[in-house]
Structure 1
Amino acid sequence: MAQQCFTPRLFTHRTIALNYSYTREATPGPKISDWVTTFDTFQTHALKTRLGIPLLIAVDAVHGQNTFEGATIFPHNIGMGATRNYDLIRRAAEITAIETAGTGFNWTFSPVIAMPEHEHWGRVYEGFSEDANVTTKALIASIQGHQGTNLGQRHTIAATAKHYLGDGATTGGKEGGNAIISEQALKDRYLPPYQAAVDEGIASIMVGFNSVNGTNMHQHQHLVQDVLKGQLGFDGVVVTDWLGGTRWGEPFTVINAGIDIAMQPSNHDEFMAKLKATVIDGTVSMKRINDAVTRILGLKLDLGLFKDPFVKKEFSALVGSTVHREVARQAVRESLVLLKSEANALPLKSTDKIAVVGEHANNSGLQSGGWSIHWQGQKHGYASATTILDGIHGFVPDAQYQPMGCTADMQASKVIAVVGELPYAEFMGDSTNLNLTQTQRNMITRCKTFGKQVIVVLISGRAMTVTDTIKQSDAFIAAWLPGSEGAGVADFLFGANGFTPVGKLPTSWPNLYEDLPLAQDAENALYPFGFGLNKY
């Protein structure tokens, strides 16, 4: 806002703090101690400035502290929504807060509470559900986990509800597109989750790249100033999205719209100079500046930064701990949705002759999706993660792994085919192709040709048009994007310790591409919202 911003680029994830101007490219694989030293140095410098105001330091920890290689990475929100286990969602957010604090951050740009209406959108997996009720319950649980009973607790961090407003409702599912929303729909569907966030004490709210009825949210004074801060009574901090302070116009338009913090990592000097000029000439009132500064300082006070701004080092040793990973493993197995199970294909037994095919089976990067170590995710594995194949080998050590598919001499009678999308995030994930690749489809067909029972595990950030593959399979599982604990998928496949499926679809599942976008109660859906077999 009226203070300088700095934005260290850690693994290309967005990080923002106030009062300091600094840009840093981190080399891959830093230790926690490196992060602790860096952020404590930032705070030390901040305290030596004229006013001695400590820093807010934020990160996109959207499914665990997913920027740190070695942290516990949970299923993306679409999977967490599929669990319908709101206590588990709260616990996952609490663990995320602990591991985020332990790596030096005090603010996360999470949770996303979009209610995706188009499978084409590249951010479907960041939303809990297309359903407002599920979204609101998950949102409340997430806020409680991140923020605890108050922000002054040692294990809590500030959370951010995003992206205000209608980001999941743009025409055609285009990231940053235009959402056409009637006043009635605004009242009935889109505002209630944000009202719930405000009532729950959410610390910050991020506006979206999208427009509503033709006006970009970064410029939307009515929806930000009048509705969010006025009607909904939000007294926290409103923040732009990445470079949002200049992307759609001059800085004064954003600040006058009611936004308090501008995330300007590469042009903050230009932003501040232009903003200062418009304050001097009266285009931006001091009342607006004072409102923003009051909110920012209030958040810092609530977080206890004026008493102790430094990294909570006692949590560093808990990052990626066994206890945390067990919770993530539980989240994985509860997030999986069984769409089909026939011919006693499941549960698998340790005595079964099993083969595993598909490159997604043995690659933690592919199974985690975007916002995992890097902004767009990665196509190779990362440290301290368990792949799906690792988990299967825990039950059947001699299970064959043939990533390219079945062969005539394969002895296995049951084949687990792990297939799906490659990682993506934001606009890079916008797509009109919701099919498996031809190579993946051919692989499954070939396994069936050899007379194998085929259990398909789909790794994806959204429902896909895979009707023919579902018909071919003996069992079909929507596994979403499990994160670092692939062994949870194996727990599901083998019914470990008496486990039975509990996951329910967070969105309707399409039969044909031409049917998209599906309404939540669409009669032509292959599987309706809430579907999920509860026994094998």
Structure 2
Amino acid sequence: MKNAILLLSAFLICGAGWSQETKNKKADIDAKVASLLSKMTLEEKVGQMTQITVTVFEDPAKPGYFDAAKLKQGIQDYHIGSILNVPNPGAPTTKRWQETMTAITNEANKTRLKIPVLYGIDAIHGASYTAGATLFPQQIGLAATFNTNLVKRGAEISAYETRASSIPWVFSPDLDFPRNPAWSRMWESFGEDAYLSAQMAVALVDGFERNDVGSKYSVASCMKHYIGYGSTTTGKDRTPSIIPERILRQYDLTIYEAAIKAGAKSVMVSSGEINGTPVHSSKHLLTDILKNELGFKGVVVTDWKDIIYLNTRHKVAETKRDAVRIAVMAGIDMSMVPEEFSFYTDLVDLVQKGEVPMSRIDDAVTRILRMKFELNLFENTVANLKDYPKFGSEEHILEAYKTAAESITLLKNKDAVLPLNKTDKILVTGATANSMKYLNGGWSYNWQGENSDVYAADKSTILEAFQNKLGKENVLYTPGADLEKEDDAEIAKAVELAKNASKIVLCLGEKNYTETPGDISDIYISKSQIKLAQALSKLNKPIVLVLNEGRPRLISDFEDKMSAVVQCYLPGNEGGRALVDILYGDVNPSGRLPYNYPRYPNSLEKYNRKYTESISENEQNNDAKYEKSYLPQFEFGTGLSYTTFAYSNLKIDKTEISTTDEIQVSVDVTNSGKRAGKESVLLYLSDNFASITPEVKALKRFEKISLEPNETKTVKFTLNQKDLQFVNQDLKWIAEKGTFTIQISNLKKDFLLK
């Protein structure tokens, strides 16, 4: 006991010391910011609020290299505080990034105050704009792992490799909350559940920033896109949303709140509008809620041209100058202008004429300077490449492979057709079978990701992974179909080849895309691919359907004819070999769907739907001809394994609780099969009756565990009062007295809130 007391005392002393050190560091930075701010002219301050894309400064005769006069003009004449994006032609090496950042730093050091330029990049699944970097699954695949430790480790590696590129700021994580599966950026999100999204957000922020954002191995994160961006009524990118504030607070805002508490240094604002108000013009959302209510002290930056769009698209500002006034007064700190200097000239004029107060400018610049000091940019802006020996290393690649393997989700396995036998003759076919573009998706080496086959030429496509495992002579292949264009001759060729195979691996999905180029009007998988699937199914041979897609494209026209269905999402550079290792049983699948996979285009209910979304006519008139309305192709949380897991002994420590109690939950999970496996244990909670119509169930906790055959583990969770609450009509979080149901697997327990 004495030793325990001594250890506790030491821990408390260390904790107090760390806390005091943090306070001292913050006070020191605050003093430096205040001192520097007091020396700055209006023009220098407004320059700090201006972000320009790097290509503006390039020499037209030498793409990728600076025109010295243009760079000087931007940094010395306009005092710009931030640069973003990728030099032409894209994906520089770490050496070229070093040269680029050295040129920028040298120019900044010639200015009066020598304020460093803050460089930002869309490194959303690794240092994805640097040649040779380690690319992880896209965010939707990270969510499917249900493994926050794995996700955090991936973010640490991404931060390391981004800093090796001399870049200190990443526009990640994406905290959008998609409500329409047609949306082109669904794969950049964590799916349809707010709790899962919040936990993954914290994992990424922790991994990027590592409690010391000034480290040469850490980067500042940027939450995006605040707020409501993923909920467009049309499903198209950058189109309006209609979202009551009660809904925003109960779901969307909780994700940002979790990331802010984790220490996220910046936030990017949604390009959309909510209930007729563009977010960039909403003081209520940006200042009243984000800055004041949530206490966010970081930098609020726009997305591409979005202040200009207040005038040209949203039509809430009659001029670009008026748009600048509206946005800055709403709470914008930095404008991604990004191809001109109009924001700078307009804002200087607005302040000089008293239309924007200097206090608003000082607040914005204080936030920007604070982040620059926190990032240690005044001491170091360019990476010493010798400090990054693990860039693109086998160690990092292994982590990307493990993450891809844990993300890939087995949705169906009829008659245990998987795992495959290495003696089987296999036909690999389908439009996504032989390209790295479809494994990586957008934001990979360049905006739309169309150059992945060039930059990732040393990586394995799905076909190449099969050939590497079995030998080229043992794998039959033909594309079978184009992603969009129907080709009867190619389908006939695939059918003929399939006659010589015992099993077919059919790789279907989508093109690489992001943002508006990814807009679609039909969520069915393309007709050319459906036609191939249906033609092959007539052979009555086992077909393993492999989906490579950023959103659930409907497969209900032929899913019943598939023996197995495997969802890969966008698994990154190591996804091909991870998939093939799963198909042959070298790896046991453990991913779970982070969204409902819909069956019909007009039936898009989420798993946590309201009861009225599940009404079955036969409940009322007992007429069997009516189908139940809630019938997704696969439900949120679906994920099969090559082993089986048995749940038992669900316990809660109280059957009645007060409004201050926590409740302890435990359950035993046994690997009842013959293979080692990983299982995501999901705890759902149902509020059985409430004044706001309750959800059928909502995810409240999860934990991923590993079990050997016949091994049992007891998994424990703690639920608190916030887990019982919802947002009422007065926009207050409340819990109401009554019965709640805990559900883990097929086990349930009730408790009463008194």
Task: Note if contact 2:85-2:122 (Cα within 8 Å) is conserved in structure 1.
Answer: no
Q: CA deviation at 1:28?
A: 4.7
C-alpha distance in structure 2 between counterparts of 1:105 and 1:125, whole Å: 24
Are 2:333 and 1:333 equivalent residues in the alignment? no
C-alpha distance in structure 2 between counterparts of 1:313 and 1:490, whole Å: 35
Aligned to 1:332, what secondary structure does the other structure show? helix
Q: CA deviation at 1:69?
A: 3.3
In the TM superposition, 1:131-170 aligns within 5 A as 131-170=193-232
C-alpha distance in structure 2 between counterparts of 1:467 and 1:441, whole Å: 10
Given candidates 442, 445, 453, the residue that maps to 1:370 is 442
AA matched with 1:30: P
Given candidates 154, 173, 194, the residue that maps to 2:256 is 194
Partner of 1:395: 469
In the TM superposition, 1:193-342 aligns within 5 A as 193-249=255-311, 250-267=323-340, 269-314=341-386, 317-342=389-414
Partner of 1:343: 415
C-alpha distance in structure 2 between counterparts of 1:208 and 1:99, whole Å: 27
Q: CA deviation at 1:519?
A: 5.8
Given candidates 572, 580, 587, the residue that maps to 1:483 is 572
Partner of 1:2: 46
Task: Note if contact 1:122-1:429 (Cα within 8 Å) is conserved in structure 2.
Answer: yes
C-alpha distance in structure 1 between counterparts of 2:161 and 2:151, whole Å: 15
519-528 or 208-217: bigger deviation: 519-528
C-alpha distance in structure 1 between counterparts of 2:511 and 2:85, whole Å: 30
Q: Deviations over 1:88-123 (max 9, x none)?
A: 110111111111111121100001011211011111
Aligned to 1:299, what secondary structure does the other structure show? helix
In the TM superposition, 1:477-516 aligns within 5 A as 477-485=566-574, 486-496=576-586, 499-516=587-604
67-76 or 27-36: bigger deviation: 27-36
34-43 or 436-445: bigger deviation: 436-445
Q: CA deviation at 1:216?
A: 0.5
C-alpha distance in structure 1 between counterparts of 2:85 and 2:301, whole Å: 19
Q: Deviations over 1:14-38 (max 9, x none)?
A: xx99437899851256332111111
Partner of 1:534: 641
TM-score by length of 1: 0.94
Percent identity, aligned pairs only, is 35
C-alpha distance in structure 2 between counterparts of 1:457 and 1:469, whole Å: 13
C-alpha distance in structure 1 between counterparts of 2:406 and 2:54, whole Å: 36
Q: CA deviation at 1:314?
A: 3.5
Aligned to 1:476, what secondary structure does the other structure show? strand
Distance 1:362 1:529, change over 3 A: same
Based on CA coordinates, which of the two structures has the bigger radius of gyration?
Answer: 2
Task: Note if contact 1:39-1:310 (Cα within 8 Å) is conserved in structure 2.
Answer: yes
Q: CA deviation at 1:332?
A: 1.2
123-132 or 311-320: bigger deviation: 311-320
397-406 or 286-295: bigger deviation: 397-406
AA matched with 1:218: H
> Higher relative contact order at CA 8 Å, sep ≥6: structure 1 or structure 2?
1
Partner of 1:462: 551
Distance 1:27 1:464, change over 3 A: closer
AA matched with 1:484: N
Q: CA deviation at 1:379?
A: 7.0
In the TM superposition, 1:105-120 aligns within 5 A as 105-120=167-182
Given candidates 472, 489, 500, the residue that maps to 1:411 is 500
C-alpha distance in structure 2 between counterparts of 1:344 and 1:241, whole Å: 48
Are 2:432 and 1:360 equivalent residues in the alignment? yes
Q: CA deviation at 1:436?
A: 2.2
Distance 1:312 1:432, change over 3 A: farther
Distance 1:81 1:388, change over 3 A: same
Task: Note if contact 1:161-1:197 (Cα within 8 Å) is conserved in structure 2.
Answer: yes
Aligned to 2:567, what secondary structure does the other structure show? strand
AA matched with 1:124: M
AA matched with 1:531: T
Task: Note if contact 2:439-2:570 (Cα within 8 Å) is conserved in structure 1.
Answer: yes
Aligned to 1:144, what secondary structure does the other structure show? helix
AA matched with 1:157: V
Distance 1:507 1:317, change over 3 A: same
C-alpha distance in structure 2 between counterparts of 1:113 and 1:345, whole Å: 37
AA matched with 1:376: Q
**Which is richer in strand?**
2
AA matched with 2:52: F
C-alpha distance in structure 2 between counterparts of 1:254 and 1:503, whole Å: 42
C-alpha distance in structure 1 between counterparts of 2:84 and 2:141, whole Å: 36
Aligned to 1:340, what secondary structure does the other structure show? strand
Distance 1:363 1:193, change over 3 A: same
Partner of 2:27: none
Q: Deviations over 1:498-518 (max 9, x none)?
A: x32211110111111121364
AA matched with 1:419: L
C-alpha distance in structure 2 between counterparts of 1:24 and 1:290, whole Å: 30
Q: Deviations over 1:32-79 (max 9, x none)?
A: 211111111111211121100111111011111112232211111111
Q: CA deviation at 1:321?
A: 1.8
Distance 1:156 1:20, change over 3 A: closer
Distance 1:363 1:316, change over 3 A: farther
C-alpha distance in structure 2 between counterparts of 1:347 and 1:22, whole Å: 45
AA matched with 1:6: I
C-alpha distance in structure 2 between counterparts of 1:142 and 1:517, whole Å: 28
Task: Note if contact 2:134-2:396 (Cα within 8 Å) is conserved in structure 1.
Answer: yes
C-alpha distance in structure 2 between counterparts of 1:24 and 1:473, whole Å: 42
* Cα RMSD after superposing both structures: 2.2
C-alpha distance in structure 2 between counterparts of 1:299 and 1:170, whole Å: 32
Q: Deviations over 1:133-161 (max 9, x none)?
A: 10000000000010011212221000011
- What are structure 1's unaligned runs of at least 5 residues? none
C-alpha distance in structure 1 between counterparts of 2:197 and 2:84, whole Å: 36
C-alpha distance in structure 1 between counterparts of 2:332 and 2:121, whole Å: 19
Runs of 4+ in 1 over 6 A off after TM superposition: 20-24
Given candidates 89, 99, 102, the residue that maps to 2:161 is 99
AA matched with 1:360: T
Distance 1:459 1:22, change over 3 A: closer
Task: Note if contact 2:173-2:204 (Cα within 8 Å) is conserved in structure 1.
Answer: yes
- What are structure 2's unaligned runs of at least 5 residues? 1-44, 65-73, 312-322, 481-490, 614-629, 644-754
C-alpha distance in structure 1 between counterparts of 2:546 and 2:605, whole Å: 24
484-493 or 178-187: bigger deviation: 178-187
Distance 1:139 1:408, change over 3 A: same
Task: Note if contact 2:86-2:129 (Cα within 8 Å) is conserved in structure 1.
Answer: no
C-alpha distance in structure 1 between counterparts of 2:231 and 2:541, whole Å: 42
C-alpha distance in structure 2 between counterparts of 1:277 and 1:227, whole Å: 28
Distance 1:318 1:186, change over 3 A: same
Distance 1:156 1:113, change over 3 A: same
Partner of 2:20: none
C-alpha distance in structure 2 between counterparts of 1:137 and 1:428, whole Å: 30
Q: CA deviation at 1:253?
A: 1.2
Are 2:91 and 1:19 equivalent residues in the alignment? no
TM-score by length of 2: 0.68
Q: Deviations over 1:386-433 (max 9, x none)?
A: 211222223211222222252435422011111111111112222221
C-alpha distance in structure 2 between counterparts of 1:204 and 1:131, whole Å: 23
Aligned to 1:514, what secondary structure does the other structure show? coil
